[in-house]
Amino acid sequence: MPVDFSDTKSLEEIYYSKVLPKLKPFEQNRLATNRFATLTLVIAGILAASIFFLFKGKVNPDDVLALGIGSVIIPIFLWGIVNSIIQGKFNREFKSQVYPLFFNALGMQYRTGTTGDIGFFEECFKRTGIFIRYDNIDVDDILQGTYKKLDYQLLELKVSYEQKQEKSSNTVVVFNGACLVIPSNKPFTSMTVVRSDMLFLNPANINDLQQVKLEDVEFEKMFEVYSNDQVEARFLLTTAFMSRLVDYTKEKKSMVYVIFHAGYIYLFVNYANERVDLFEFHLHKTLYNKEVFMNMLQDINGILNVVDGLKLEQDLGL
């Protein structure tokens, strides 16, 4: 049965009956992992001091500052790598064992992403040009559910590319966020793209998609619309949807993209904070906190509410 996000009492009952009994071993693991992280940080500090004092008398006085900086950076860098591995392992185990219980009780299904989930996005990004440059797409988490009698998928994905320099390279993230994929009972055959306004960088056309001008002044200030069918684009972009998209973007301070294609709507929400992850838990926060789960559900509901203004469950005809 589809979840009612407004029924807070039922959601909390599910948390206490389905989730809380499973949390004890994970909370113990979290505490042990935190103790280990603290210990390794102390060891890193001791190592940093040892390196500095060991080599202090062997370098030129002008190089003492550089030695001190290097003595700190190298151990802390190694500590960061170790703790990143530990955090990743903890999250994988937690999500694979706890999330299925929680979301199944809400009539939803959770699974981790695979390489087989990226095929559509590769074709979609090339066609729409919403990301000018990328060479890697990583789908992390996938949640499946039903909203207004329509089956949807909510995916977390990261889009990035490698920026090569003379002697090194670094990863540039162009999108890190959530993508809602939901069908529409409103018939349409065109492709329409809504993306955040890039001011003077907005192209006149994107491949075969032409710019669409709308009458909503506030929406026009924040977004640009492209479509291969001007009439259908205006039919799809209801006043209620444009208003909700504007309000959501202001509230979350996020870059938002929407694609209408082949009977589906794809809503991309780029997290304002690159380190945010909808489905992640952090080692420094206790797991015995129902608000973490409730906030997760409210974030999911907030994304679903944006497309509610499209009235996707209604076949209104063109």
Contact residues for 164 (Cβ-Cβ < 8 A; gap 6+): none
User: What pLDDT score was predicted for residue 318?
Assistant: 43
* 184: Cα separation from own chain's centroid: 23
pLDDT per position as a tens digit, 153-174: 999 988 888 888 777 788 888 8
Taking a C-beta distance cutoff of 8 angstroms, is the pair 86, 33 a contact?
A: yes
**Beta-bridge partners for 175:** 159
User: What pLDDT score was predicted for residue 100?
Assistant: 87
pLDDT per position as a tens digit, 27-59: 898 888 888 878 877 877 777 777 767 766 666
pLDDT per position as a tens digit, 114-143: 767 777 777 778 777 778 788 888 888 899
* 247: Cα separation from own chain's centroid: 19
Q: Above pLDDT 70, what percent of the chain? A: 86
First to last CA, the chain: 31
For residues 24 and 121, which has the higher predicted lDDT (pLDDT)?
A: 24
- DSSP annotation of 241 reads H
| Residue with the two structure tokens 């329509």 | 150
User: What pLDDT score was predicted for residue 225?
Assistant: 92
Number of helices (H) and strands (E) in the chain: give both, helices first.
Answer: 9, 10
pLDDT, mean of residues 275-302? 81
User: What pLDDT score was predicted for residue 316?
Assistant: 46
Contact residues for 99 (Cβ-Cβ < 8 A; gap 6+): 110, 279
Q: Which two tokens stand for residue 185?
A: 């009972």
Closest CA to 278 of 189, 166, 145, 177: 177
309: confidence class by pLDDT, cuts 50, 70, 90? low
For residues 303 and 309, which has the higher predicted lDDT (pLDDT)?
A: 303
For residues 271 and 314, which has the higher predicted lDDT (pLDDT)?
A: 271
| Residue with the two structure tokens 């320099």 | 165
User: What pLDDT score was predicted for residue 90?
Assistant: 82
This model's pTM is above 0.85: no
For residue 227, pLDDT over 90 is answered with: yes
pLDDT, mean of residues 173-200? 85
pLDDT, mean of residues 217-237? 90
**Mean residue pLDDT across the chain:** 81
Whole-angstrom distance, CA of residue 255 vs CA of residue 175: 9
Angle, helices 64-97 vs 20-56, to 10°: value is 170
